[in-house]
């Protein structure tokens, strides 16, 4: 009789579900080869919880009518405000890093193929919501770049007519910056909470993909996978801490540190790093409607991927396709860098070329290569 065995029945006899949980967690039903990167969705969820907590604290002091001033107040006057703001800003970088990595992995391993399409769609939905939340949060800073991005966005939306114009007017609520930021603060929170719903659906759909039955040499979740999650979490938290304390403004446009002003137009309006590629694709489309169509097309090809991929389960895609996925990732990185560079003719040409390759990859190369491999 060990100490733990005698101690457990006290709580379990009074709360029987504890025993069910303990036996369920320790039941050897899982295969032992789950990769470390498989922990990414859980890390994304944990980051989202952390962002919610730090966001709640920021919400106490944030005033959309004095956006830039209230953030300066948080940075300078609120106890540990600089740290909470740093947590929120760096959390954005971490969560986008994890989401991009998870999507890259899903592309590389072909996890979007049937029966995994729904999990793939939910991952993309997660990315789109996260980008919206990130974009709104970036506008809420009220810095010079955010101010002018908002002014251009709302101005373009106001200029639209008919149904798109009505939608634009509803979202921005007029071209006035302060009224707009007040509603964006609400949208920012509401969409962030909606992300939890998407994540719940994602986990449910992913669980349904699991092969039924108990694998050979099965292990229990505890302690085998709790240890794996713990190790993954420690590495993730370490990167997070280094970024918070040494590079708190990583990937932000330095011009956004200046206060937004109608009389001070920054050179170029490069968004934070996680929006650079989308911003570049939007920039390629002519006019406001062209930009919207270009961004929608950019996401549509990702959604269409399960059908653009012609490979059969019998003849899986090989090294060439994986090489193409790596090239695609490099193309998106190059697109982001071109968008981050100071505005010039060369940057515009490169942006156009890299956008062209992005669509070429999905609409031509993917069907061609996978069909060729499938014979």
Tokens of 164: 């798109």
Using rule CB under 8 A, residue 329 touches another protein: no
Q: Is 83 in the site for another protein (CB under 8 A)?
A: yes
Q: Closest separation between CB of residue 206 and another protein, Å? A: 27
Least separation in angstroms between CB 73 and another protein:
9
Contact call for residues 309 and 367 (beta carbons, < 8 A): yes
CA neighbor of 93 nearest in space, from 41, 60, 138, 62 = 138
Pick the stretch among 21-29, 53-61, 125-133, 286-294 that binds another protein (CB under 8 A): 53-61
Which helix (H) or strand (E) segment is 303 a member of?
helix 287-303
With CA atoms as reference, report the closest residue to 143 among 86, 92, 71: 71
User: How far apart (Å, rounded) are the C-alpha atoms in residues 50 and 55?
Assistant: 8
Stretch that binds another protein, among 32-40, 77-85, 250-258, 280-288 (CB under 8 A): 77-85
The structure tokens listed for 34 are 């789950």
| Number of residues lying near another protein (CB under 8 A) | 13
Question: Interface with another protein includes 26 (CB under 8 A)?
Answer: no
Q: Does 79 bind another protein (CB under 8 A)?
A: yes
Which range, of 20-28, 76-84, 267-275, 338-346, touches another protein by CB under 8 A?
A: 76-84
6 binds another protein (CB under 8 A): no
Instruction: Please spell the DSSP secondary structure of 89-143, one letter per residue.
Output: HHHHHHHHHHHHHHHHHHHHHTTTSTT-HHHHHHHHHHHHHHHHHHHHHHHHT-B
Identify which of residues 1 and 211 has a Cβ nearer to another protein in the complex: 1
Say whether residue 25 binds another protein (CB under 8 A). no
The tokens 């911003």 sit on which residue?
Answer: 279
Considering only 9-17, 50-58, 122-130, 360-368, which stretch makes contact with another protein by CB under 8 A? 50-58
Q: Residue 225, Cα to own-chain centre: how many angstroms?
A: 25
Selected binder of another protein within 81, 110, 125, 168 (CB under 8 A): 81
Contacting another protein (CB under 8 A), which of 7, 60, 114, 304?
A: 60
User: In whole angstroms, how far apart are CA 192 and each of 94, 119, 133, 159, 204?
Assistant: 15, 19, 6, 29, 19
Query: Is residue 95 a contact partner of residue 272, using CB atoms and an 8 Å limit?
Result: no
Structure tokens at 355: 């956008």
Nearest approach in angstroms of CB 33 to another protein is 25
Rule CB under 8 A: choose which of 26, 30, 42, 53 binds another protein. 53
The residue among 78 and 194 lying less far from another protein, judged by its C-beta, is 78
Q: Between residues 57 and 189, which has the closer beta carbon with respect to another protein?
A: 57
List residues near another protein by CB under 8 A.
Answer: 2, 53-54, 57, 60, 77-81, 83-84, 87
């Amino acid at each position: 009789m060990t100490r733990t065995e005698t101690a457990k029945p006290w709580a379990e006899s009074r709360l029987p579900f504890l025993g069910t949980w303990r036996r369920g967690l320790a039941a050897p039903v899982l295969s032992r080869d789950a990769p470390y990167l498989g922990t990414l969705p859980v890390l994304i969820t944990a980051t989202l919880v952390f962002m919610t907590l730090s966001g709640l604290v920021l919400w106490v002091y944030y005033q959309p009518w004095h956006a830039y001033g209230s953030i300066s107040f948080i940075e300078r006057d609120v106890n540990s405000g600089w740290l909470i703001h740093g947590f929120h800003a760096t959390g954005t970088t971490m969560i986008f890093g994890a989401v991009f990595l998870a999507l890259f992995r899903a592309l590389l391993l072909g996890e979007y193929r049937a029966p995994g399409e729904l999990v793939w769609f939910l991952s993309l939905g997660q990315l789109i919501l996260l980008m919206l939340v990130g974009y709104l949060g970036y506008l809420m800073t009220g810095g010079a770049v955010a101010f002018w991005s908002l002014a251009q966005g709302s101005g373009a939306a106001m200029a639209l007519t008919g149904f798109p114009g009505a939608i634009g007017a509803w979202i921005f609520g007029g071209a006035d910056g302060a009224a707009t930021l007040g509603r964006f603060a609400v949208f920012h929170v509401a969409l962030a909470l909606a992300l939890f719903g998407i994540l719940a659906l994602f986990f449910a759909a992913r669980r349904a993909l699991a092969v039924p039955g108990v694998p050979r040499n099965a292990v229990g979740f505890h302690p085998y996978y709790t240890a794996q999650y713990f190790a993954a979490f420690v590495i993730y938290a370490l990167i997070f801490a280094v970024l918070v304390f040494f590079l708190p403004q990583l990937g932000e446009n330095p011009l956004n540190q200046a206060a937004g002003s109608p009389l001070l137009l920054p050179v170029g309006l490069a968004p934070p790093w996680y929006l650079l590629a989308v911003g570049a694709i939007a920039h390629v489309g002519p006019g406001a409607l062209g930009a919207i169509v270009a961004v929608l097309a950019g996401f549509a090809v990702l959604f269409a991927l399960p059908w653009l991929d012609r490979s059969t389960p019998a003849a899986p895609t090989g090294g060439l396709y994986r090489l193409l996925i790596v090239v695609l990732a490099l193309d998106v990185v190059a697109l982001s860098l071109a968008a981050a560079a100071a505005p010039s003719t060369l940057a515009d040409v490169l942006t156009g070329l890299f956008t062209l390759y992005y669509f070429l990859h999905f609409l031509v190369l993917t069907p061609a290569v996978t069909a060729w491999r499938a014979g």
